[in-house]
Structure formats: C-alpha cells, structure tokens
Amino acid sequence: MKKLILIGRSESGKTTLIQALRGDKIQYNKTQYVNNFDVLIDTPGEYCQTRNLGAALAMYTFEAQVVGLVMSADEPYSLFSPCCTVVANRPVIGIVTKSDRSGANKQRAAAWLKLAGCQKIFFTSS
C-alpha cells in the first residue's frame, strides 16, 4: 500500500478520515503536530492555513507516495491555489469530505480540487 499524506484546512475532516481508514473509533481530536502512521500522514490544518508553515507541508509530501488534498463539501472558499499541486512532484488526489451535509456543494468542491491539479476526486462522509 502506498503512503498517503492528507492536507487541508482545520476541520476539513482529515483526522476523522484517518480514524475511519484505520478502523478506529471516530472522535474529535485536534491534530497538534504531524502524525505519521504506517501508511497515513495526518497534518494540522494550520500548516495549510499559514504561509510560513506551508513550506513544511511541501517537505512532508516527500515522505509519501500520494498526496491527498482534503476539502469539506460545505467550504465557502478554497485555500488551494490553481495548479498548486505541481510542487508536490507526486500523484495528487482530491478528497471531498462531509458530502452528505445539508448545504453541501460537492460539485463546487470537486471543481476547486480539479483546478488545484488533483488527478482523481473521491467523495466521503463519516
């Protein structure tokens, strides 16, 4: 199995997705630092939201074979710039979380992820 790093803003669903993939009990835990599991890397949302910490994310992508950009389906805007995935030098997938929420706009989130450069888009819900 390839190692996957999840990148996205705070409360986008990265940690919940990792808990579900690992078969753990789903509970809210604020990620304070980069958690490196066997085949999954969980990153704090602040790394994506803060310019100075963004460089750290770029460095962590080299520890994984696949980069996953995570975006909630109810996001009002995208933190990911167009064509931002080229710096990863890895296959980049998009993951739309919270797709079953009322007011969710899965197509808009998917369009933003495609614009960022994601090759495939996956839809999830806890």
Q: What pLDDT, on a 0 to 100 scale, did the predictor assign at position 110? A: 97
- What does the buried/exposed string (b/e) look like for 96-109 if buried means 16 or more CB atoms within 10 Å of the residue's CB? bbbbeeeebbbebb
Q: What pLDDT, on a 0 to 100 scale, did the predictor assign at position 99? A: 92
- pLDDT band with cut points at 50, 70 and 90 for residue 69: very high
Give the model confidence (pLDDT) of 12-62 as tens digits: 999 999 999 888 888 887 888 888 888 999 999 888 888 778 778 888 888
Strands in 40-42's sheet, in edge-to-edge order, are 35-36, 40-42, 4-7, 66-72, 92-97, 120-123
Identify whether the C-beta of residue 4 lies closer than 8 Å to the C-beta of residue 39.
Answer: yes
Q: Tell me the whole-structure pTM to 2 decimals.
A: 0.91
The CA-based dihedral angle spanning residues 58, 61, 63, 69, taken in that order and rounded to the nearest 10 degrees: 150
Identify whether the C-beta of residue 45 lies closer than 8 Å to the C-beta of residue 8.
Answer: yes
Task: Tell me how far apart the 2 most distant CA atoms of the chain are, in Å.
Answer: 36
Give the model confidence (pLDDT) of 84-123 as tens digits: 887 778 899 999 999 999 889 999 999 999 999 999 999 9
Q: What pLDDT, on a 0 to 100 scale, did the predictor assign at position 6? A: 94
Q: What pLDDT, on a 0 to 100 scale, did the predictor assign at position 49? A: 83
